Amino acid sequence: MQPTLSETNQLNFQRIFSKAHAMLSCDKKNWPCEVTDLSLKGCLLELELPWSEEMEKIYTLTLELPEQSQIKMELSIAHVVANNVSFKCEHIDPNSISELRRLVELELGDCDLLKRDLLALSGNK
């Protein structure tokens, strides 16, 4: 039996369940949010109010981590259901990838999963 698209995405990219507080921003507007799900491919955010902002813009997510570090991603909206918004990662800088890698290693204890994700993002399998 062939996996569904959502099952394929789950197989290709390891997601981190963190329930961490973060800030989403665009055009000098800020929305506090909670990161429900995070991967190199994107994230799922829970906002305080239902989403009513522009769908076509690029947003920046800033996730503050301990020890003065952070993960920053540029995102586009993939799907909206009330105050839960799914975003696709359009860009992530090397420092943020390093921090995400460290987070994966801490959460999952397996850096091989992240290496596989990085290869999949680069088009190499």
Per-residue pLDDT tens for 74-104? 999 999 999 999 999 999 999 998 888 777 7
Inter-helix orientation angle 94-108/111-121, to 10° = 140
Instruction: Tell me if the domain spanning 5-119 has CATH number 2.40.10.220.
Output: yes
Rounded Cα gap, residues 28 and 65, in angstroms: 22
Tokens in use for 20?
């961490």
pLDDT band at 16 (very low <50, low <70, confident <90, very high): low
pTM: 0.73
Domain coordinates in residue numbering, the chain: 5-119
- pLDDT at residue number 110: 57
